Amino acid sequence: MAAKKYSDKASEKIGEVMHEFKEGKLKTSAGKKVTDRKQAVAIGISEAQQEGLKTPRKK
């Protein structure tokens, strides 16, 4: 069985960010509203990495 790519806490963090995105409350660092789902996931992963949670390395 393969190892998990994301820790449970990282998955939880990404889920919280996606919830914000779905409610229309997620903003970029420039203060604009996020409208792209992929960008929302990227923000969630980035925030999880900043907290030191287990995420895959950037390619």
pLDDT digits (tens, 9 = 90+) for 8-24: 999 999 999 999 999 99
Residues near 4 by Cβ (< 8 Å), separated by ≥ 6? 54
Helix ranges (H only) for 1-59 are 8-23, 37-50
Q: Would you state the pLDDT for residue 59? A: 75
Confidence (pTM): 0.84
